[in-house]
Structures are given as structure tokens and as C-alpha cells.
Structure 1
């Protein structure tokens, strides 16, 4: 089937199998960590905002250097080290919880440690996808990566809700630690000779060179700017959903798992739809997807009942991945191969590294105005950013031909089909 054509590549097939297990464990850990923090702090939105901020702050500070390492060193080795380290961190916190010795500062410290590892792992993993499958299969492989991520995001929280209710938070954390072994085994079983490795740069790979590459490319700058705004204000579901479940609907961990699963179900549908993409999406596709996301998130925040929130979260999840994948493909397929690790690090920086700012803002806003405000305010800001970006894009298209040519994407004709 064309939908799964990149799975014909053995290395990518192994990687996908390992990631399904590992990412499911990670999403179980997200539920367990959030529930631990809320349990230790009497449902404090501010504390949950702090732990989210600590988990993403290293992405803000270190991701560009992670991308530099990805362009200079063996990505398979870097990913192996990152997954082993994450597994050890999860195991340590799980043992503290099982021993009844877990305290809030330890949850904070673990979140900071995991975020530090992710600053290396995320841009390396994104760049490694193209190394496994090559440029022609990259859109399909990227969409399938989003698909397995969202399969795990459906399965992980649902399992976490059941397991936490039956066994406890510590057991779920220990299980997550074990799940990292799946990715490590898959990475070590790969055939290095079948990887599509770019030539090592003749000169030392520098962060500033990647930034200069992006600065000279308006077709990359606009989606990156939009991703930055929506990343700060719109993509805070790790914070807003547990608050919504526990403080607005006064529900248990299973109800929180259902909200997360509803968001993931819509995301999964979008991921499978985008597997049909064969070329680089247009800027208009990215901008319209962002506007749709903003409208749906606003509607979710204003929904009158739990059932309505579940339905709208499915639609919001679809819009989330449709926008994120369009932006990812627009940026990644427009980037020269030698800069891809650093550019995807910049994408990660503005997409996820901006989360600490949003988490602190949304945590405080939710504390003062209620859990719903984190959703509808984020949605309204996302709408405003999309409208502004559409205006900028329209103005660029209406420039005289000589100016428009200067902004044209130099590789656009090579990737469209």
C-alpha cells in the first residue's frame, strides 16, 4: 500500500516498531508525572506549569547545540545514548515513587533531566528519518512517524489510566523505563550501510551557519514564526487537559486519559491522511491549517460539557497534526541536506522549546481564570497569528515580480509532484 511504502525500508521498519513501544511508555509517563504533581500539590495549576516548563526549558536553551551534534556525529549512536539515559531517569523516579519517598522537587529535577536529553534526541531523531529513507520517501516516513506517535498517544494514556488506578504511579514509571529498550534494540539491529548519510561537512558545523541559512529563506521564516507563536500559546495540552479533567469536571485519572486519547485519535487520523503527501506543501496549506487549529481550540475551551469537549478534542487533534506536519514538511523539504540537523533543531526550539513560556503563562492564567481559559485564549491567539501570517503571505505574493523572485524557494521545483 502507498500509505505504508516507507515501511519497505528495513531500517525504518525496525525504528518504527521500537518507537511505538517507547513512545507509548512515554505517554504513560506523561500521565503519571502530571498525576504525581497534582497529588503532591493539592491540584496546583502553578506547580503543573512549573514542571512542564522545566521539562521544556532545556529545549529552549540547548536544542540548537543538539542539532549541531546531529550534523557532526553518528545519529544512530546519539539516539542510542539518549534513549538509555532517558530510561535510567524514568527508572530512578519510579523507584522513588515506589519507595514512598517522592517529593515535588524530585519531579521537577526529573523533568529538567528528561528535557535535557530531549534537546539532543528530538532534532537528531527528526534528521535521522531522512537518513533512513532518503528524500523521496521523507514525506511518507514523516507522516508515518506522526502516526505511530499518535497511536502511542492513544494507547499510552488509556493504559496509564487503567494501570495507575490498579497498581499505582510508580509501577507505570518503571514500565516506561523498560519501554526505552525497544528503541535501543531497534537502533542496534539496523544496517548502517543502508543509511542515506550526507557527506560530513568540510568545515566545522556551526550553529550560526544554520541560522544564516534560515535567515536568508523567507519561505522558511514564515512557518517558523507561526510555529513559535502557536507553540507558546496553543500547544499546551499537557497542562490544560489534566487541569480540565480534575478542576473543571472533577474527574479521575481515567477521564483525563480519555481526553488525551480523544486528542490523539484526531491526531492519528490526520497523520494517516498526510501519508499521501508526496511533495512540499505550499505556504497557504500551512497557514490555513493554523487558522483551523485556532478556531477548534477556541471552541474546545468554550464547550459546555465533558462530552462536547471529547468530540471537539478529536477535531482539534486532527488540526494539530495537520498544521504541525505541514509546517514540518514545508521546512524540512526546503532545507539543504547539510543544514538539516541544525534547521530541525531550530524547528524543535520554536515548536517545543517555547513551551516553558507558554506553560508558565497558561498555568497562571488557569489559576486565575479557570482551566478553560488556557484553551480558548490559546485558540484566539493562534487565530490571530494565522490571520497575520496570511496577510504577510498575501502581501509577499503581490510584490513586483523582481521582489517576489528574491523570496522564491530555490528548491521548490525539485520536490513538488
Structure 2
């Protein structure tokens, strides 16, 4: 088997991967349907209502991440995933029934979004850390990248299928498909051979819990830098659930099918990024920084685009650079963390990526209503640009590196220097 798909040689990981792929497709279909339900069916293009709905999904993660990370380190991760998947399945069943029968109201969507968020709060750190128990450590970066490939293959397929099915059979039945997707994930978890897993030794109740995780990260500047990347790209910049919806409906006046196409084209770039990450082996910080720069450049171009199909095509590099930054950051974080701390550190990663949503999503929705749909994209561009500048300056200062412009050189007129004691030595990178 090629290096790109090497982890699939592991029977347990293969089961996990296939179950996750089906679950992710159903999840993306449901996200598309819920956004359409809030933005079009239950309101008249109210971006702020969509922002509130998104915020409610991520609010439990903000409040419960300290507890969820500790739980992931102290209890059986597979059992946690079974419980969270079951709760998500029941929530999808209730919302789809209300929608199909015509009884759904906005407060129903908000309440069930909060339930979904509760399941996600415990699911995310356990799911992130569980991968290291399914494959040997040397295959961990590849398995993480393939997980992302699964998620982004679903992003490629799910919104397009969801948008088409909304127009064909209605929003409720698309949400109902997510019930089947959750059931598939539960079946995959139950089918895994427990004897072939590599569980980390659970931490005791005397390990300091989440506080110990914070102290561990504070002693590790490398981990703090990676969490900053998650905050920038995932927490402040990943607002596509809102920006794509309002760009489709308000800027370009398109329907459900075209809205789904936007997410699918973004999924193409994201899938390529994840597979590239799986193939290249060892993750590097330069790939993270490259992803942040690409995010800013191509999101700015898409915000300024006046043509719908140009906007759609630009989602390919947008997806590529966004996922390059996040997947590489995730891989670096997990491989640099001890197994006993991995659940708590990944809870922090989830907190930086999703914990900001309860504050950022309503703000982005308000900005969209106040300044127009393109401003929802520009918000992320400005935020990630500022965070990139701060992160780069911190890395250069910490590593005693500086950049000088030398107009006597040939292009690009840039010299990178590393300071060693009182001497300056030039390095090529």
C-alpha cells in the first residue's frame, strides 16, 4: 500500500476510517440543511440568526472543554465516542421529525444545536486522541491526515448532495440521513477489535486534571505556537458556515443547489491538502505558516470576486490552504504531546478552534447584516493576517532570527539571519 494510505493496512483503522467517512458525509449534509433551514425556511435571510445557531453548537465546547479533555484522558475513549454518537443520533432524529412534520420552529433548532454541541464537546477530544490508540505511533501523522481526508472528502460530497436533496425531497429528509450516518459510526466503533488497540494508560484523579494540562502547555512554547495557529485559522477565520451561506443567498442570489456547490468546491481543495499531508510524512511548521498566508490571499480574492463561478473556483485554494494549516498544526501538536496528556491538549486545540464560535459567530453574523455578506470573509482575512504577523514575530524572536532587506542583492532582496551570541550568521531557508 502506498505511503499516502499506509494506515489503512490496519484493520481497526480501516473500520474507523470507513465509519467516519459515512458519518462525516451525513454530518455535512445535515450542516447544509440546518443552515438552509435557519437562513431561508425559518427566517428571511437573517445572518445573525445563523450566527446564533452556530454559536449554540460550540458553546458547550467553550464551557466544558476543561472537563471533556480530562474525561478523555481518564476514561475509555471508545465508550465516550459511543455515548456522544448516540446523543447526536437522537438529536438528529428529533429535528428531522419536527421538520418533516412541519412543526419545527427556530427555538427548536437552537435547543437541538445546544444538544449537538454537548455531544461534540466530549466527542472532539476523545476522537482526536483515540486515533493514537488505533495505529502505532509511527503511523500517527498519516492517520491524522487520512482522518482529515475523510472529513474533507465528506465536505466535498456532503454539501452538494445535501443541496440537491433539499431541492428534491426537502430539508427534513436531509437531516434524517444524518441519523443513518450516526448509526454507521456506532456500528463501526462496536466492530473494532479491542485486542488490537493501543490504549494509553488512563491518568488517575490525582493528576491535576485540566490545570495540569495548562501547566504542561505553558512549559512548551512549541505547543503554544500551534494552539495560536488553531485560534487564528480555526477560531477566528473558519466562518464558512456563515460566509458561504450569505454569499450564496445575499451576494449572488442563488438557491440551495448552488450553496451546496460552494462547499463542495472548498472540499476539493481541502481533500487535496489532507492527502498531500498524508503523503509528505513528517509535518513542518513552514507548512502551517504557508497555509496561513494562502488563507489570507485567496479569501481576500474571493471576498472581492463579483462573479459567482469565480467565487466558487476560488474556494479550491481557500480549502487547500485552510486545511493545510489546520491538519499540519494538529499533526505537530499530537506527535509532540505525551500520551497521558493528549486528551487535555487536544481539548485545548478544540477550544481554540471551536470555543471562539459562541462569541465570533454572532459577531460575524452581525457584521454580515450591517456591512454586507463580503465583510464576513474580510473579518477572517484581517484576523488571520494579524495573528500571522504576531506569530511570525514571536517565532523569530524566540529563535533569534531576523529578516533584513538588502537592496544590493538580487531579488527577492531578503536576507534571513540567525543571531548567535554577538555574532550574526546568515542562514538559507
Q: TM-score, normalised by structure 2?
A: 0.91
Is residue 247 of structure 1 aligned with residue 230 of structure 2? Answer: no
- CA distance in 2 between partners of 1:223 and 1:292 (Å): 17
Q: Could you say which residue in structure 1 is the equivalent of 2:150?
A: 148
Report if the CA contact (8 A) 2:233-2:326 is conserved: no
Is residue 196 of structure 1 aligned with residue 192 of structure 2? Answer: no
Q: Which has the higher helix share?
A: 1
**1:296 deviation in Å?**
1.5
Report if the CA contact (8 A) 1:231-1:358 is conserved: no
Q: Could you say which residue in structure 2 is the equivalent of 1:408?
A: none
**1:203 deviation in Å?**
4.9
Q: Could you say which residue in structure 2 is the equivalent of 1:157?
A: 159
Q: TM-score, normalised by structure 1?
A: 0.94
Report if the CA contact (8 A) 1:68-1:341 is conserved: yes
- CA distance in 2 between partners of 1:23 and 1:377 (Å): 27
Report if the CA contact (8 A) 1:366-1:373 is conserved: yes
**1:200 deviation in Å?**
2.3
Q: Could you say which residue in structure 1 is the equivalent of 2:276?
A: 273
**1:202 deviation in Å?**
4.6
| Pick aligned residue for 1:367 from 366, 369, 373 | 369
Is residue 137 of structure 1 aligned with residue 139 of structure 2? Answer: yes
- CA distance in 2 between partners of 1:279 and 1:242 (Å): 36
Report if the CA contact (8 A) 1:198-1:337 is conserved: yes
| Pick aligned residue for 2:391 from 379, 389, 411 | 389
Q: Could you say which residue in structure 2 is the equivalent of 1:26?
A: 27
Alignment of 1:75-154 (within 5 A): 75-154=77-156
- CA distance in 2 between partners of 1:285 and 1:270 (Å): 11
- CA distance in 2 between partners of 1:231 and 1:185 (Å): 30
Report if the CA contact (8 A) 2:125-2:350 is conserved: yes
| Pick aligned residue for 1:261 from 251, 260, 264 | 264
| Pick aligned residue for 2:170 from 168, 192, 195 | 168
Report if the CA contact (8 A) 1:296-1:379 is conserved: no
- CA distance in 2 between partners of 1:2 and 1:386 (Å): 31
Q: Could you say which residue in structure 2 is the equivalent of 1:413?
A: none
Report if the CA contact (8 A) 2:235-2:357 is conserved: yes
Report if the CA contact (8 A) 1:122-1:348 is conserved: yes
| Pick aligned residue for 1:315 from 305, 314, 317 | 317
Report if the CA contact (8 A) 1:286-1:326 is conserved: yes
Q: Secondary structure at the match of 1:136?
A: helix
Alignment of 1:13-52 (within 5 A): 13-38=14-39, 39-52=41-54
| Deviant stretches of 4+, over 4 Å | 399-402
| Pick aligned residue for 2:338 from 333, 336, 339 | 336
| Pick aligned residue for 2:299 from 297, 300, 303 | 297
- CA distance in 2 between partners of 1:186 and 1:198 (Å): 21
Report if the CA contact (8 A) 2:277-2:283 is conserved: no
Q: Could you say which residue in structure 1 is the equivalent of 2:70?
A: 68
**1:134 deviation in Å?**
2.1
**1:99 deviation in Å?**
1.1
Report if the CA contact (8 A) 2:266-2:315 is conserved: yes
- CA distance in 2 between partners of 1:383 and 1:298 (Å): 11
| Pick aligned residue for 1:216 from 211, 219, 222 | 219
**1:219 deviation in Å?**
0.6
- CA distance in 2 between partners of 1:204 and 1:279 (Å): 34
**1:231 deviation in Å?**
2.8
Report if the CA contact (8 A) 1:290-1:386 is conserved: yes
Report if the CA contact (8 A) 1:267-1:320 is conserved: yes
- CA distance in 2 between partners of 1:202 and 1:97 (Å): 45
Structure 2: unaligned runs, 5 residues or longer: 402-418, 422-429
Q: Could you say which residue in structure 1 is the equivalent of 2:230?
A: 227
